Amino acid sequence: MSIGIVVAGASGRMGRMLCEVVAASDGAHLVGATEGPGHPWAGRDLAQVAPGLPAGVPVTDDPIEVVRAAQAVIDFTTPAATVAMAELTAQARAVHVVGTTGLSEADIAALGRTAHHAPVIRAGNMSLGVNLLTTLVRQVAAALGDDYDVEIVESHHRHKVDAPSGTALMLGQAAADGRGVALDDVADRARDGATGARTHGAIGFHAIRGGDVVGEHEVIFAAEGERITLGHKASDRTVFARGALRAALWGQDKGPGAYDMLDVLGLRALPGA
């Protein structure tokens, strides 16, 4: 059975890739795509604005009807757009796959409320490799304790608008969970000038922006005499698109609730997950 999917933010880098991956899938097909109000793509056929993609797929800035016709929405947009979309997916009882980053605590709480009505699958990164890395970081942090300083370094293309990346925050959360502390209490997101000595137990974040870097992340555990470095490099955005499609398919027989890629990939049962 082929499920109908709506891709939100279809004109963006990830939106186009998602449309291509869904269109090439045997298990899913595009029933619609969305863009913001007044966008040049709105009101047109997807094949007209993105040659090579299927004809007969409407691009709309009023997503109510296409969401009603879908079994899943894949959403890599903005926090405000994602929260608004969640209201529609909840009403339609459609799976909402959320790869949007930069979400505030209030945004996440809003998604949690909609998860009472339909599956919401949210992750800072949809790739298998990054989710395995997250599990490893949690295990290593638990084993080493706070005698090892944790620094997270991430690199992305010049167009990325949020920092630290959602993946970096996901890795920081894994390190904090491994240590049994709250990330907000130990995160150090900026250093400039005479900052003094490093705070014991802090988890540092560093963001690099430039060129066309798809995504690179390193988690460094540094102590006297040794460093342990765990990392992941993505060279092609299709790894994220394929993961998002996998999540949309996985969610079809799941009840309402908040899920993540550890659930989708069956990694929840691993030690430290």
Instruction: Evaluate whether residue 269 is within a structural domain.
Output: no
Domain CATH code at residue 196: 3.30.360.10
Number of domains in the chain: 2
259 and 211 part of one domain? no
Instruction: Evaluate whether residue 13 is within a structural domain.
Output: yes
Instruction: Evaluate whether residue 272 is within a structural domain.
Output: no
258 touches 111 (CB < 8 A): yes
pLDDT band at residue 268 using 50, 70 and 90 as cut-offs: confident
194 and 241 part of one domain? no
Residues 6 or more apart in contact with residue 64 via CB below 8 angstroms? 88
151-210 pLDDT, tens digit each: 999 999 999 988 999 899 999 999 999 999 999 999 999 888 998 999 999 999 999 999
146 and 77 part of one domain? no
- Residue 186 CA to residue 190 CA, distance in Å, equals 12
Per-chain mean pLDDT for the chain: 94
- Residue 100 CA to residue 103 CA, distance in Å, equals 7
85 and 191 part of one domain? no
Predicted pLDDT at 190: 82
Domain around 138 = 128-234
211-229 pLDDT, tens digit each: 999 999 999 999 999 999 9
6-47 pLDDT, tens digit each: 999 999 989 999 999 999 999 999 999 999 999 999 999 999
pLDDT band at residue 1 using 50, 70 and 90 as cut-offs: confident
pTM of the predicted model as reported, rounded to 2 decimal places: 0.82
Active-site residue list: 156, 160
Predicted pLDDT at 124: 84
- Residue 156 CA to residue 160 CA, distance in Å, equals 7
- Given a cut of 70, whether residue 272 has pLDDT beyond it is no
- Given a cut of 90, whether residue 267 has pLDDT beyond it is no
pLDDT band at residue 271 using 50, 70 and 90 as cut-offs: low
- Cα dist from 209 to 78, 139, 154, 163, 164, whole Å: 19, 29, 9, 9, 10
